[in-house]
Each structure stands twice: as structure tokens, then as C-alpha cells.
């Protein structure tokens, strides 16, 4: 499963988490659960396969996608199709990074997976065709960079005081979150409005998502998992609160999560693994 990641520089590095090219993906399953990471994605299929999203409970298909689609801020898990010999090209925006390129409040994309053409019009299909015709992955990356630089609007960048709150939430202990919110230079309503505009989520919901992803990081790295210790370290009020939050974001309780071997993954988990 070759995965090439592009080294971003300059202004794009400030707002784009990653651009990567995935080729010859050979999953041992056909449907996978994706848990929220706090990012917006533009996804290009370069293999001609139709992708689907599914009802999380029944796994009945909801919608299908071809060519290019956008995945907005997801508040909890979604179920998507996985295909043999997949080739995908993906732009992953930082939590606050999509607005300067999308030019409308990111909240409008919450809990949605929609056609890229609905968001960007014919230009995104033209970019896909350009990426397809480029012979090397580096040339594909350069095409994406050129498009992003052309879309970038300096007057749409997030304000400094919002970035300061985001940085503190990402780097300081959860217990500091109330103090971080109260330290914002303007009103709490203004902070919420700014978060919805640039991130898509409210500050408290975004903090909850960060905490859940820290759990995944810890259990992915752990040799032996003590759930009570994990809950304590991530500063949940009690273990029942921890279990409730874990199931909210992943759709599964922590014990079953481990029984199914999901701790080996990061944010993609097979739902119909063979063998």
C-alpha cells in the first residue's frame, strides 16, 4: 500500500495538514468505519471506482460518489466503502485551515460528504483530470499546490486570537479548557461563532474530539490497556463518562473495540474483515 506524502512549505503548510497519494490499496474488507479527527478533506478517486457511504446501524447504502468529493467536519463516525487496488489523492486541511480555500463558513459542511462539484464547481473536476494526466506523483502534488494557491484568500485567514485558543486546546491538558475559553479576548458567543465559521464545531465539541483522538493515540501505542488508567489520564470525570464518550465517537464500547483488534488502526476500522 504505497502512500506518498507531500512536503508542504510556505503559506500552504500553515493551513494544510497533508496532501497524500495512495496507490494499490488492498483492504481485507469492503466497509470501514471512520472516526472523526477534526479535519476537512477533499478526496479524488483516480481509479474509476464508485464509493459509497452507509447507514451506521444497518450498513445500507446512503449515497454514492465518483471523481471528487468533500468530507466536512464529522461529529461522530461514518461508514464508507473500501476497494481493492484503490488509488486516491487526498487533501487534508488543518482544523482551522479550510475557510481560506472554501470561502464559506465550514459549519455548512458539518456531518456531510458531498460531491466536490457542489462545492467548487467544474474547476475541481478539471483539477482531477490534470492530476490524472500527470505522470509522476510529484507532478500530481504540484498540480494540487497550484490549485490551492490560486484558491487561497488572504482576507479569509482565521484571526490570531482564535488560533491562540486552538493551539492551547491542542497542546494543554483538558483540565485547562475552561480557563482557555475564558481567556479569549472577546465574548464566549463570539468565540463560538468564530469556531463555527473557521472550524465548523463549537469549542467544547472540538475539545471533546481532541480528547477522543488522544485516547486512540494512547491505546494504539500501548502494550497493555488499563481502561481506568486511560480514563484518568485523559481526565474524564468517571469511567462511565469515558465509555459514553468513546461509544459516541466510535460507535462501539471500549472492550469490544479491543476484542475486534481495532487498537491496531488509527482512525479507520474494518466492519466486515475476512478471516
Q: Determine if the pTM surpasses 0.75.
A: yes
Topology (CATH) of 160-267: Arc Repressor Mutant, subunit A (1.10.10)
Q: Which residues pair with 115 in a beta bridge?
A: 69
What integer pLDDT is reported at residue 223 of this predicted model?
62
Q: Which residues pair with 61 in a beta bridge?
A: 54
User: What is the domain partition of the chain in residue ranges?
Assistant: 3-155, 160-267
b/e code 3-36 from CB counts within 10 Å (16+ = b): eeebebeeebeebbbebbbbbebebeeebbbbbb
What integer pLDDT is reported at residue 275 of this predicted model?
38
Q: Which residues pair with 33 in a beta bridge?
A: 79, 269
What integer pLDDT is reported at residue 209 of this predicted model?
94
Following DSSP, what letter does each residue of the chain receive, concatenated?
--EEE----HHHHHHEEEEEEEEEE--S-SEEEE---S-EEEEEE-S-PPEEEE-TTT--EEEEE-SEEEE---SS-EEEE--TTEEEEEEEE-TTTSHHHH-S-GGGGTT-EEEHHHHHTHHHHHHHHHHHH-SSHHHHHHHHHHHHHHH--GGGSPPHHHHHHHHHHHHS-GGGHHHHHHTSSS-HHHHHHHHHHHTSS-HHHHHHHHHHHHHHHHHHH-SS--HHHHHHHTT-SSHHHHHHHHHHHHSS-HHHHHHTTGGGSSSEEESS---
b/e code 76-108 from CB counts within 10 Å (16+ = b): ebbbbbbbeebbbbbbbbbbbbbbbbbeeebbe
Closest to 218 (Cα-Cα) out of 202, 193, 235, 199: 235
Please tell me the CATH superfamily of domain 3-155, with its number.
Answer: Jelly Rolls (2.60.120.10)
**Tens digit of pLDDT per residue, the chain (275 long)?**
588 999 999 999 999 999 999 999 888 889 999 999 999 999 999 999 999 999 999 999 999 999 999 999 999 999 999 999 999 999 999 999 999 999 999 999 999 999 999 999 999 999 999 999 999 999 999 999 999 999 999 999 999 999 999 999 999 988 889 899 999 999 999 999 999 999 999 999 999 999 999 888 888 776 677 777 777 777 787 888 888 999 999 998 888 888 887 777 678 888 887 63
Amino acid at each position: 500500500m504505497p502512500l506518498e506524502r507531500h512536503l508542504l512549505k510556505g503559506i500552504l503548510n500553515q493551513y494544510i495538514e497533508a496532501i497524500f497519494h495512495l496507490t494499490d490499496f488492498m483492504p481485507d474488507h469492503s466497509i470501514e468505519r471512520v472516526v472523526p479527527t477534526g479535519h476537512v478533506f477533499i478526496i479524488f478517486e483516480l481509479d474509476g471506482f464508485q464509493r459509497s457511504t452507509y447507514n451506521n446501524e444497518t450498513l445500507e447504502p446512503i449515497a454514492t460518489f465518483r471523481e471528487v468529493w468533500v468530507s466536512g467536519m464529522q461529529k461522530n463516525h461514518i461508514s464508507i466503502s473500501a476497494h481493492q487496488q484503490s488509488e486516491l489523492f487526498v487533501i487534508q486541511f488543518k482544523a482551522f485551515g479550510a475557510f481560506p480555500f472554501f470561502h464559506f463558513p465550514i459549519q455548512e459542511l458539518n456531518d456531510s460528504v458531498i460531491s466536490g462539484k457542489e462545492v467548487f464547481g467544474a474547476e475541481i473536476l478539471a483539477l482531477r483530470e490534470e492530476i490524472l494526466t500527470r505522470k509522476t506523483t510529484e507532478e500530481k502534488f504540484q498540480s494540487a499546490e497550484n490549485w490551492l494557491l490560486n484558491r487561497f484568500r488572504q482576507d479569509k485567514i482565521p484571526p490570531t486570537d482564535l488560533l491562540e485558543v486552538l493551539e492551547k486546546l491542542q497542546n494543554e491538558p483538558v483540565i485547562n479548557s475552561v480557563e482557555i475559553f475564558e481567556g479569549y479576548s472577546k465574548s464566549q458567543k463570539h468565540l463560538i461563532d468564530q469556531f463555527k465559521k473557521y472550524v465548523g464545531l463549537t469549542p467544547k465539541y472540538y475539545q471533546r474530539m481532541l480528547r477522543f483522538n488522544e485516547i486512540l493515540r494512547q491505546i494504539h501505542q500501548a502494550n497493555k490497556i488499563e481502561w481506568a488508567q486511560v480514563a484518568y489520564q485523559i481526565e474524564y470525570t468517571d469511567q462511565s463518562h469515558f465509555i459514553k464518550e468513546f461509544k459516541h465517537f466510535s460507535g462501539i464500547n471500549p472492550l469490544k473495540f479491543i476484542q475486534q483488534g481495532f487498537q491496531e488502526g488509527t482512525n479507520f476500522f474494518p466492519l466486515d474483515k475476512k478471516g
